[in-house]
Amino acid sequence: MTTGSLLRPRDGDALRSEIRWVASTAGVPVVFGGEVHEDTLLLTEFVGTVTNGLRGLPVLRTSGLGGRVMDMRRPASVTDYRSAASITHHYDGPVSGEGIRSVLAVPVVVANRSRAVLYAATRGDTPLGDRTVDLMVAAGRRLATEITVRDEVDRRLRMLESAAPTTETAPAVTEELRDLHAELRGLARTASDEKLRIRLHDVCERMARALNGAPVADAPRLSRRELDVLAHIALGCTNQEVAQRLSLGPETVKSYLRNAMTKLDAHSRHEAVVLARRYGLLA
């Protein structure tokens, strides 16, 4: 599921976090899951299991309950796994060894493809309640959003790596890099992983230095939010558009812009962008 990017944190860590959240919030006896690698789901994360039978188990597409939801890309459940007619029974051994009967499986779908599967299970034949279903679906959606952000970051970094400007294309590439700089700042705001946010901001600062050189010694100190706003204004966004892109209120955007203009001693939004670039603070 991961791409091998040095910037990207392990997706398994985000998966583990959601599994632990479901276990503690829903009070389900057994919660587990894994990432999908091509057409195989590999179970790696567990809370509440008492055997090692499921650990490292590869689940093929369409096989068992997990393979079924991976293929259908929607949640499904069985009240009694061992007697369920709606699934194949390739994995009855490790499931029975764990004593699991009632099971819910929720796929984590990104770009119409299953990237992970979350399971909640009990050792009795009582179906899992609606609250557990809602919590599992919410966890799956959060994880899908996080993976989507990480994928987009990786895509844009690949675009940066492939950009090899010539004398003729340099101006256009510079504008494209500035556009990517603003988009990366926006992605940094939406990433739920704190380490990823910090590293994204570091990438943005490196991009600014690459385009403008190192910040001058007496450059004003602008906050990250003030730079976020200026980066989008540099793309020609209105205050309302900046607010939508950064999930801020319009008045908050105006406040950040005013603060940035004051620090830069700028008399207009355009002058603020020009000065921020001159100081090496903005790509």
Asked if residue 133 belongs to a domain, the reply is yes
Distance CA 53, CA 55 (A): 6
> For the domain that residue 60 is a member of, what is the CATH number?
3.30.450.40
Instruction: Report if residue 3 sits inside a domain.
Output: no
Let me know whether 129 and 187 are in one domain. Answer: no
- Record the pTM: 0.62
Q: pLDDT tens digits, residue range 154-195?
A: 877 776 666 545 445 456 666 667 777 777 777 777 777 777
69 contacts 75 by C-beta, under 8 angstroms: yes
Domain span holding position 71: 11-151
Q: Place 47 in a pLDDT band, splitting at 50, 70 and 90.
A: very high
Same domain, 135 and 177: no
Note the pLDDT of residue 210.
65
Number of domains in the chain: 2
N-to-C CA span, the chain = 31
Q: What is the mean pLDDT of residues 27-54?
A: 95
Q: What is the pLDDT of residue 134?
A: 96
Average pLDDT over residues 142-160: 83
Q: What is the pLDDT of residue 29?
A: 95
Name the token pair of 66. 């997990």
Domain final position from 100, 122, 151: 151
Query: Pick from 259, 219, 233, 228: which is nearest to 246 by CA?
Result: 228
- Using 50, 70 and 90 to split pLDDT, how confident is the model at 2? very low
Based on the domain organization, do 17 and 139 belong to the same domain?
yes
Q: Do 141 and 184 have their domain in common?
A: no
Q: Which CATH number fits the domain that encloses residue 188?
A: 1.10.10.10
Amino acid at 118: L
Note the pLDDT tens digit of each residue in 201-258.
777 777 776 666 556 667 788 888 898 888 888 888 899 988 888 888 989 999 999 9
Query: In the listed set 97, 117, 151, which residue is the last one of a domain according to the structure?
Result: 151
Q: Can you tell me the distance from the alpha carbon of 25 to that of 62, in angstroms, rounded to the nearest whole number?
A: 30
- Is residue 283 domain-resident? no
The per-residue pLDDT for range 100-133, each reduced to its tens digit, is 999 999 999 999 999 999 999 999 878 899 999 9
Same domain, 171 and 135: no
In this structure, the answer to whether residues 25 and 102 fall within a common structural domain is yes
Boundary residue ending a domain (151, 181, 204): 151
Task: Please name the residues in contact with 61: beta carbons below 8 A apart, sequence gap of 6 or more.
Answer: 39, 40, 41, 67, 70, 71
Domain co-membership, 147 together with 168: no
Q: What is the per-residue pLDDT across 15-36, written as a single tens digit (0 to 9) for each?
A: 999 999 999 999 999 999 999 9
Q: Is residue 196 domain-shared with residue 253, that is, in the same domain?
A: yes
The per-residue pLDDT for 66 is 97
216 in the same domain as 111: no
Q: Is 86 exposed, middle or buried (0-12, 13-18, 19+ CB in 10 A)?
A: exposed
pLDDT-based confidence at 3, cuts 50/70/90? very low
